[in-house]
Amino acid sequence: MKRVIGFITAVALLVAGIVPVAAQQLTGTLEKINQSGVLTIGTRTGSPPFAYVNAKNEWVGFSIDLVEELVKPAIEKRIGKPIKLEKKESTPPTRIPLLTSNAVDLIAGTMTDTRTRRESVDFSLTFFVTGAQFLVKKGSPIKGIQNIDGKRIAAQQGSTNARIIREKAPKAQLREFPDQPAAFQALLQGQVDAYTNDGIQLAGLKAKAPNPAQWEVVGEFFSYEPYGMAMRRNDSDFRAVVNVGLMEGIESGKYFEIYDKWFGAKGELPYPMSAAVRSFMIYQVVPK
């Protein structure tokens, strides 16, 4: 009798178009994660406090926490079972190929959402806002993009910062490096006069340097850098779940708790969120 009632109930739900979320058809990346039981992200190893390997050899950071505490639970809720999180190193030149080759499911690091990149990948909503500046040795004559003509400027390969330097300061001697540690090493050794990257990353690099007082982050922002999580194009179901995780985190306040952990007064890198940025984050949350 119970089987008959169960069968009748299931038929009634199907007829009414009501299907439990976990039973709905999974496609694309969600189906890949469901089959493997693993969400694989591409992230950084040397970009504190977003994603880096700490002194205890732990792979940690703000971007990683957002995935672990907001995105992963949303995916688990959608597919109806727990999953594992795996991390693979990604850099500006490798992150899009890692996505398109299916080596990773999501890039969660310090990737700027741009119109050009949207031709290759899709992005989540913005989870951090910053802008490009310069890291120089204290006392350097470089004070901003307006006086770098003829100077040796380090940038990461494939970064928006490198592109903007080529466009806005063509007389600068741009030298591109595969990742942030390599660029900073060139600055330490005097091979370049300045290293350009997003201001928040430069502040993190300075804080982790052997002698932080030796370095300065200088110049007004010469770019707008909205960070988003990148994923394969045309996978609307997966993007929706990622965004739901982030929106629910913003709405509940969990996002701001994670932000304070890394950027608050007692955080890894104090960087208070402005009222304007806080409003921007909240206004990205659409109604249920």
CATH assignment at residue 160: 3.40.190.10
Query: Is position 142 within any domain?
Result: yes
CA Rg value for the chain: 22
Number of domains in the chain: 2
Q: Give pLDDT, residue 271.
A: 85
Domain co-membership, 103 together with 199 = no
Query: Is position 57 within any domain?
Result: yes
Domain co-membership, 103 together with 237 = yes
Domain co-membership, 121 together with 164 = no
Domain co-membership, 70 together with 122 = yes
Q: Give pLDDT, residue 13.
A: 43
Q: What is the pLDDT along the chain (288 residues), one digit of tens a residue?
A: 445 444 444 444 444 444 444 446 999 999 999 999 999 999 999 999 999 999 999 999 999 999 999 999 999 999 999 999 999 999 999 999 999 999 999 999 999 999 999 999 999 999 999 999 999 999 999 999 999 999 999 999 989 999 999 999 999 999 999 999 999 999 999 999 999 999 999 998 998 898 999 999 999 899 999 999 999 999 999 999 999 999 999 999 999 999 999 999 899 898 888 898 999 999 999 999
Query: Is position 146 within any domain?
Result: yes
Long-range residue pairs from 176-184, CB within 8 A, at least 24 positions apart, any chain: 178/91, 178/93, 179/44, 179/46, 179/91, 179/92, 180/44, 180/46, 180/47, 180/156, 180/205, 181/46, 183/154, 183/155, 183/156, 184/135, 184/154, 184/209
Beta pairing class for 121-123 and 132-137 = unpaired
Query: Is position 4 within any domain?
Result: no
Q: Give pLDDT, residue 208.
A: 85
Query: Is position 262 within any domain?
Result: yes
Domain co-membership, 146 together with 210 = yes
Domain co-membership, 24 together with 117 = yes
Instruction: Return the structure tokens found at 198.
Output: 């997003």
Q: Give pLDDT, residue 21.
A: 47
Measure the CA–CA gap between 105 and 26, rounded to whole angstroms.
15
Measure the CA–CA gap between 218 and 215, rounded to whole angstroms.
10
Domain co-membership, 158 together with 243 = no
Domain co-membership, 54 together with 88 = yes
Instruction: Return the structure tokens found at 175.
Output: 């030298």
If you write DSSP's letter for every residue of 217-237 in order, what string do you get?
Answer: EES---S-EEE--EEETT-HH
Contact 182, 197 (CB under 8 A): no
196 membership: H or E segment, kind and range: strand 194-198
- CA 97 to each of CA 59, 100, 176, 198: distance values in angstroms, whole numbers, following the listed order: 22, 5, 19, 22
Query: Is position 84 within any domain?
Result: yes
Domain extent for 236: 18-129+227-276
Angle at 233 between CA 228 and CA 238, to 5 degrees: 70
Domain co-membership, 55 together with 190 = no
Contact 219, 134 (CB under 8 A): yes
Biggest alpha carbon distance in the chain? 85
Query: Is position 82 within any domain?
Result: yes
